[in-house]
Amino acid sequence: MSNPVRVGVAGLGRMGRLHAYNLAERIRRAELVRVVDAELQIAQEVADELRTDASSSFEDLVEDPTIDAVVLVTPTVLHVPMIVAAAAAGKHIFCEKPLGLDIAEAERALTASRSSGVKLQIGFHRRFDPNWKVARTHIETGELGHVMLFRTSLRDKGPPTDQFLSGPLRFLAETSIHDFDTARWMIGEVEEISVFGNAISEEVKRAGDVETAVIVLRFESGALGVIDNSRSARYGYECNTEVLGSRATVRVGNNRRNDVEWLHDGRAVRFLVDDYIGRWPHAYLAEMDDFVSAVADERSVSVTGEDGLAALMLAKAADLSLRAKRQVRVGHRFERGSVFYEIIE
Amino acid sequence: MSNPVRVGVAGLGRMGRLHAYNLAERIRRAELVRVVDAELQIAQEVADELRTDASSSFEDLVEDPTIDAVVLVTPTVLHVPMIVAAAAAGKHIFCEKPLGLDIAEAERALTASRSSGVKLQIGFHRRFDPNWKVARTHIETGELGHVMLFRTSLRDKGPPTDQFLSGPLRFLAETSIHDFDTARWMIGEVEEISVFGNAISEEVKRAGDVETAVIVLRFESGALGVIDNSRSARYGYECNTEVLGSRATVRVGNNRRNDVEWLHDGRAVRFLVDDYIGRWPHAYLAEMDDFVSAVADERSVSVTGEDGLAALMLAKAADLSLRAKRQVRVGHRFERGSVFYEIIE
Amino acid sequence: MSNPVRVGVAGLGRMGRLHAYNLAERIRRAELVRVVDAELQIAQEVADELRTDASSSFEDLVEDPTIDAVVLVTPTVLHVPMIVAAAAAGKHIFCEKPLGLDIAEAERALTASRSSGVKLQIGFHRRFDPNWKVARTHIETGELGHVMLFRTSLRDKGPPTDQFLSGPLRFLAETSIHDFDTARWMIGEVEEISVFGNAISEEVKRAGDVETAVIVLRFESGALGVIDNSRSARYGYECNTEVLGSRATVRVGNNRRNDVEWLHDGRAVRFLVDDYIGRWPHAYLAEMDDFVSAVADERSVSVTGEDGLAALMLAKAADLSLRAKRQVRVGHRFERGSVFYEIIE
Amino acid sequence: MSNPVRVGVAGLGRMGRLHAYNLAERIRRAELVRVVDAELQIAQEVADELRTDASSSFEDLVEDPTIDAVVLVTPTVLHVPMIVAAAAAGKHIFCEKPLGLDIAEAERALTASRSSGVKLQIGFHRRFDPNWKVARTHIETGELGHVMLFRTSLRDKGPPTDQFLSGPLRFLAETSIHDFDTARWMIGEVEEISVFGNAISEEVKRAGDVETAVIVLRFESGALGVIDNSRSARYGYECNTEVLGSRATVRVGNNRRNDVEWLHDGRAVRFLVDDYIGRWPHAYLAEMDDFVSAVADERSVSVTGEDGLAALMLAKAADLSLRAKRQVRVGHRFERGSVFYEIIE
């Protein structure tokens, strides 16, 4: 058996802790060497539980010559500088979405990883969910025929707290970005994007932000796409997708937490998940397993930094459409096997 | 257009009122001539609403020479005498299940209707539900192959009130009887029956009655059947059926009141029906429409008095099995195209 | 009992025959006096089956002084002239959607019915479906909170035949118009509309028509709406609706033809309906029953000619948005209790 | 971090390979030391894939002093001798169900493990499925009230091959035994058991075996239970459970392979799993993880050898009921915290 991939995790919010747990307990080919959080106490608690080391300094990951890879689950603003530092130190990188909120910055991260020859994988976990994989296979085999419509809903429980109210770009780049990636991955490249948003609660209105977004895509293939996102669905967290084809249609359901029905007082109740952690534990494990395998087997990652940049560009175009109240056309070119988007008008 | 079938309804509980409404408003070939209830005030209210005549005396139906048919929705104990009287007066008869609780009495009713040449239809409405009809068609066409298992659940909300606590026979003959008829109609004749019952609530225990019954059938064809009934399901009313065949399986779902999902506070809620009235309005209409057509077109009824007697015999055998704690074998013979059951041992 | 409402039906395609059947057999307060079709043989067949009279001339309805009301199920282009003629003769009118394809013409129909004092009801049957009624009630009671998003899908099996390829307006005015009415009825008045369409099949492309449409609405209340329509879904006919509120969310499902599951060869199969006739028989009956009651009881109709005009205006605005590739703003004013839309820009 | 638990797996059919994979790749606290199969080539293939050692001799596990625990996935007839040998060598044991087909033999295995002080866990994986755990919790908290009815279905795709046709006991002890354990675990101890079986296919009839079984249980608490099992369901593999209580009812659904719906040609299709391997991968992982933790943490196992013996006794009583065509009463006593069943009459 080859040596395990030695990994450090930076950022120990709920998502970071889940990645750390999977690396420590569920992925045989990985060894969790160290966990880092700005708050040392948190890092120490996680380290104790997972029987690994703790630190409050990201440098302790970058400068450790025994570490092969880092997993970045830090605030978005730290993604690019951490990628640049890790790449310079020759560490492979798994980075949560989005790459950042600024295109030039994100490009800098890509350049850094590319020139250092390290792998960079972005956390678009939905590509690793078996339901979406099955649906995509139905498209790829041609069974579905020509895609006419891609429809997807993503609902966060919310409502957003003050901390998350900083204009629609953040919502589009942090939440809708999953749908942009899913759209590209399942259907293909996008030509035009139109966004409509609203806010109901006073706090969100005051902040000039949106709670609900409807995003219409026109794909290069002629297919239409429609995404609806809510960050205040209140009832729970849900995600579903439907692809209408000229031969057949495929639908991925909300896939609730369990298949238990509770019958009481004239009601049949199904219990919903609260958030993405409850909805996708298997996909978070699968994406990390895949990243570790890519490092161990010295193969390409399945979700590239360029995929992260493409989705971010769509979020930017979406933000422009929302502000300018018009359709925004985007173009793309291929370079070295990767797609690069630009806003045309 | 032929003259409408002139009908009188006796017994104006909820079920009787529904039949009266359907005859008055929804079945073009019927004319509701008179409604009868022991309480004249109730009869008058219903008559006013449906623009027909009222009476507190069943004789007013039997003696009215302009009436073609009577619909009996009276207490079970009155079924046989009313059938005998109506048959003597040459009226066609639709009678709610069960024919009675006594076999000899029930046979008397059949003899009366047969010798008078009047039609007698029993209220096994499930035969008129489109879902069960589709399922039965799958069996009849042979698509399902040989039937290996028939499984059905019937759940009343309950719990039973004192008035309904009078020993298991009544439960078996009033509730399970629908399943006995469905079993015969879908699968065929029965050879052996075994019944298991229990009671949880103190009132039911004291009355020596049962709340839950599990009934195992062995069909002549070799198929097994299993019925579970509860008269105290509390959460609501439900009925579903499944037939497992050697080629395929068919399943009729609970078919809830509506296809609306209410998402709130971490729960996805479907609302259930309260009772049979909420569950089968379409089937009650269809069976009455069919009865009226049988009279108008002078053809045989779809559910005969003999079907009513067969189901009652199975209820009797079930009661014996429950009391004697053993399997009960039943036999049957055919006479004039109808089946007649007897308890063998 | 008051005299029945005497009704004539014009146009005996599948929908016309269903309305005629319901009037003849299922609606006690109606009497079907005559059926009319341009092809006399068709009219005669239907008349024979329903035991009524036949004619190939619409004048035979208008000029018959014993007729109270007419039901128009004729081609769209005939709606306005027939309404005008029927109104002049003092007949109440039930007219299938759309009123027409031309606003000025449609206004002429409204003026005619208003000045003659006859009732005019438009065939927006979804308002009579119990599922949608339940959903709307959840909104009206305030249980759902503020509406954030209205989402609805309508899928015709298609693909459209040559006869139906005549530009997107027809699709928007014949199909999407149901969603425009549902949107207004459930959520309220619309301020802005944006439409995106595509075509995959060569025939549809050549005709300059669309197969799929995504329509985004902005309501006066601030709510967003998104409608997706396909006229070539191939797999079957479906319609579902979801309303996301600040307190709860309600979802009306596809409510398939039956609740039967067929399990065979590794698959659990539910059978779908083919078209609107299979999907909404109960709603078609309920709307006609309601129209007959409105005439009999001399009360207002539930879906007015003005509702028909409002939905048609939204279809016009939708068509403009699609052609001009931009958001179209609409305004509305109230007159005599009815809403009147206009395109602002 | 404590040393990993060193495990050997014996028997490399599909189930054995899955356990070996989980031990090698998914359970951090375990180390897969060696895999054994009577066919050395199979053992070698699995060992190569999982980077461990191979052997064709069970002695190589028992005699290896570095091995802490063995996992027995061998034919039923080998379970007892292997348990006895492993216990004698001081190895902890995870054994697939059933313990054996002979009570005295099974008792010998329990005595051996108990006197050697080694842990013995039986492979009743359903206890580790999150859906069944949730359902059981609803019962334990009292939310469900008194249990009135336990209903469960287990369907193997089958049909059984010659190799598996050896009389009903084997079916009851290999398949229904899961339901006996689930019944005890969710509801409590059993007092009476009645079994009904049939066979449709000629091969099964000739072998004197059954294809379908209906099993009725009466629990000590007064609750009734009904199990239906088919080893020839053909359409696929399914398992579901329902518990009807005096306050509420809980239902665990069939929990299909995925939440994808394929809409084509008038059908909405869900794809089914083929067998238990497709249905329960998470539960097989969880039970093995739990066993490894019990060894590592030196705590009791969650499913004991006594649980295995109790379920086997119920299978024996079931077999007697089927052959004698009568209800069979069973009694039980507690010793050292475990339950021991006996057949009373």
The yes-or-no verdict on residue B1 having pLDDT over 50 is no
Stretch C2-12: mean pLDDT, rounded?
A: 93
Which SS3 state, helix, strand or coil, does residue A204 take? Answer: helix
By Cβ distance, the residue of B265, B266, B272 closest to A266 is B272
The yes-or-no verdict on residue D227 having pLDDT over 50 is yes
> What pLDDT is stored for residue D161 in this prediction?
80
**Which helix (DSSP H) or strand (DSSP E) does residue C252 occupy?**
strand C249-252
* DSSP3 helix / strand / coil % (chain B, rounded to 5): 40, 30, 30
Residue with tokens 């290069």: A220
> Could you tell me which chain C residue has the CA closest to the CA of B246?
C264
- DSSP letters of B123-170? --GGGG-HHHHHHHHHHHTSTT-SEEEEEEEEE---PPPGGG-S-HHH
Mean pLDDT of chain B: 95
Among the listed residues C59, C106, C103, the one whose alpha carbon sits nearest the alpha carbon of residue C79: C106
Give the pLDDT confidence of C104-152 residue by residue, as tens digits.
Answer: 999 999 999 999 999 999 999 999 999 999 999 999 999 999 999 999 9
Contacts with D148 from chain A: Cβ below 8 Å:
none
B235 and A271 within 8 Å at the Cβ level: the answer is no
The neighbour count for residue B261, using CB atoms within 10 Å, is 18
- DSSP letters of A278-321? HH-HHHHHHHHHHHHHHHHTT---SSBHHHHHHHHHHHHHHHHH
* DSSP3 helix / strand / coil % (chain A, rounded to 5): 40, 30, 30
Q: Does A256 touch chain B (CB under 8 A)?
A: yes
* DSSP3 helix / strand / coil % (chain C, rounded to 5): 40, 30, 30
Instruction: Look up residue D208 and give its two tokens.
Output: 């004197």
pTM of the predicted model as reported, rounded to 2 decimal places: 0.95
Give the pLDDT confidence of B213-224 residue by residue, as tens digits.
Answer: 999 999 999 999
> What pLDDT is stored for residue C165 in this prediction?
81
Task: Please state, in angstroms and rounded to a whole number, the distance separating the CA atoms of residues A325 and A320.
Answer: 8
Give the pLDDT confidence of D23-43 residue by residue, as tens digits.
Answer: 999 898 999 999 999 999 999
By Cβ distance, the residue of A149, A198, A211 closest to C228 is A149
pLDDT above 70 covers what percent of chain D? 99
Contacts with B26 from chain C: Cβ below 8 Å:
26, 28
DSSP A176: I
- Cβ contacts from A onto C, under 8 A: 100
* C 31-90: CB under 8 A from A: none
Contacts with A318 from chain C: Cβ below 8 Å:
none
A261 and D251 within 8 Å at the Cβ level: the answer is yes
Q: Does B271 touch chain A (CB under 8 A)?
A: yes
The neighbour count for residue A66, using CB atoms within 10 Å, is 9
Provide φ and ψ at D176, rounded to 5°.
-60, -20
- Cβ contacts from B onto C, under 8 A: 73
Q: Does D293 touch chain A (CB under 8 A)?
A: no
> What pLDDT is stored for residue B2 in this prediction?
66
b/e code C7-34 from CB counts within 10 Å (16+ = b):
bbbbbbeebbbbbbbbbbbbbbbbbbbb
Q: Please name the residues in contact with C41: beta carbons below 8 A apart, sequence gap of 6 or more.
A: none
On whether the CB atoms of residues B187 and B147 are closer than 8 A, the answer is yes
> What pLDDT is stored for residue B163 in this prediction?
76
C198 and A212 within 8 Å at the Cβ level: the answer is no
> What pLDDT is stored for residue B161 in this prediction?
80
C11: left (phi over 0), alpha (psi -120 to 50) or beta: left
Q: Please name the residues in contact with D298: beta carbons below 8 A apart, sequence gap of 6 or more.
A: none
pLDDT above 90 covers what percent of chain B? 89
Give the pLDDT confidence of A41-53 residue by residue, as tens digits.
Answer: 999 999 999 999 9
b/e code A34-46 from CB counts within 10 Å (16+ = b):
bbbbeeeebbbbb
Choose the mutation target among B270, B271, B275, B279 for the interface with A, i.e. most A CBs under 10 Å. B270
ipTM entry: 0.94
Instruction: Look up residue C309 and give its two tokens.
Output: 């005009």
Contacts with A153 from chain D: Cβ below 8 Å:
none
Of residues D3 and A249, more confidently modeled = A249
Helix crossing, D130-140 with D177-186: angle to 10°? 40
Diameter over CA atoms, chain B: 64
DSSP B97: S
Give the pLDDT confidence of D270-320 residue by residue, as tens digits.
Answer: 999 999 999 999 999 999 999 999 999 999 999 999 999 999 999 999 999
Could you list the pLDDT tens digit for every one of the 345 residues in chain A?
Answer: 468 999 999 999 999 999 999 999 989 899 999 999 999 999 999 999 999 999 999 999 999 999 999 999 999 999 999 999 999 999 999 999 999 999 999 999 999 999 999 999 999 999 999 999 999 999 999 999 999 999 999 999 988 887 778 888 999 999 999 999 999 999 999 999 999 999 988 888 888 899 999 999 999 999 999 999 999 999 999 999 999 999 999 999 987 778 899 999 999 999 999 999 999 999 999 999 999 999 999 999 999 999 999 999 999 999 999 999 999 999 999 988 889 999 998
> What pLDDT is stored for residue B16 in this prediction?
98
pLDDT band for position C203 (cuts 50, 70, 90): confident
Among the listed residues D245, D218, D326, D148, the one whose alpha carbon sits nearest the alpha carbon of residue B205: D148
Instruction: Look up residue A222 and give its two tokens.
Output: 């002629």
pLDDT band for position B17 (cuts 50, 70, 90): very high
Q: Does A197 touch chain C (CB under 8 A)?
A: yes
CA terminus-to-terminus distance, chain A: 54
Burial class (CB in 10 A: 0-12, 13-18, 19+), A140: exposed
Among the listed residues C231, C257, C210, the one whose alpha carbon sits nearest the alpha carbon of residue C156: C231
Cα angle at B86 between B83 and B90, to 5 degrees? 130
Provide φ and ψ at B214, rounded to 5°.
-115, 125
Q: Is there a cis peptide before residue C281, judged by omega within 30 degrees of 0?
A: no
Calculate the alpha carbon distances from B342 to B59, B333, C185 in Å: 34, 9, 61
Among the listed residues C326, C308, C337, the one whose alpha carbon sits nearest the alpha carbon of residue C102: C308
User: How, if at all, do strands C249-252 and C238-245 pair?
Assistant: antiparallel
Residue positions counted in chain D: 345
By Cβ distance, the residue of D211, D222, D226 closest to B226 is D226
Instruction: Look up residue B264 and give its two tokens.
Output: 């709130």
Helix crossing, B130-140 with B177-186: angle to 10°? 40
Provide φ and ψ at C329, rounded to 5°.
-95, 135
Contacts with D160 from chain B: Cβ below 8 Å:
none
Q: Is there a cis peptide before residue C159, judged by omega within 30 degrees of 0?
A: yes
> What pLDDT is stored for residue D1 in this prediction?
44
SS (H, E, C) chain D: CCCCEEEEEECCCHHHHHHHHHHHHHCCCEEEEEEECCCHHHHHHHHHHHCCEEECCCHHHHCCCCCCEEEECCCHHHHHHHHHHHHHCCCEEEECCCCCCCHHHHHHHHHHHHHHCCCEEECCHHHHCHHHHHHHHHHHCCCCCCEEEEEEEEECCCCCCHHHCCCHHHHHHHHHHHHHHHHHHHCCCEEEEEEEEECCCHHHHHCCCCCEEEEEEEECCCCEEEEEEECCCCCCCEEEEEEEECCCEEEECCCCCCCEEEEECCEEEEECCCCHHHHCHHHHHHHHHHHHHHHHCCCCCCCEHHHHHHHHHHHHHHHHHHHHCCCEEEEEEEECCEEEEEECC
The neighbour count for residue A48, using CB atoms within 10 Å, is 10
Choose the mutation target among B48, B52, B258 for the interface with C, i.e. most C CBs under 10 Å. B258
By Cβ distance, the residue of C194, C198, C249 closest to A224 is C198
Count the alpha carbons within 13 Å of C330 in the hemisphere toward its beta carbon.
28
Choose the mutation target among A138, A155, A187, A200 for the interface with C, i.e. most C CBs under 10 Å. A200
Sheet holding A53-55, edge to edge: A53-55, A30-36, A5-10, A69-72, A92-95, A120-122
Q: Please name the residues in contact with B233: beta carbons below 8 A apart, sequence gap of 6 or more.
A: B155, B156, B157, B158, D244, D249
Q: Does B269 touch chain D (CB under 8 A)?
A: no
> Could you tell me which chain A residue has the CA closest to the CA of B234?
A265
Stretch C289-309: mean pLDDT, rounded?
A: 97
> Could you tell me which chain B residue has the CA closest to the CA of C253?
B259
On whether the CB atoms of residues C290 and C29 are closer than 8 A, the answer is no
D226 and B230 within 8 Å at the Cβ level: the answer is no
Task: Please state, in angstroms and rounded to a whole number, the distance separating the CA atoms of residues A195 and A187.
Answer: 19
The yes-or-no verdict on residue C1 having pLDDT over 50 is no
Choose the mutation target among D5, D129, D264, D273 for the interface with A, i.e. most A CBs under 10 Å. D264
Count the alpha carbons within 13 Å of B300 in the hemisphere toward its beta carbon.
8
Q: Does A248 touch chain B (CB under 8 A)?
A: no
Contacts with B259 from chain C: Cβ below 8 Å:
131, 252-255
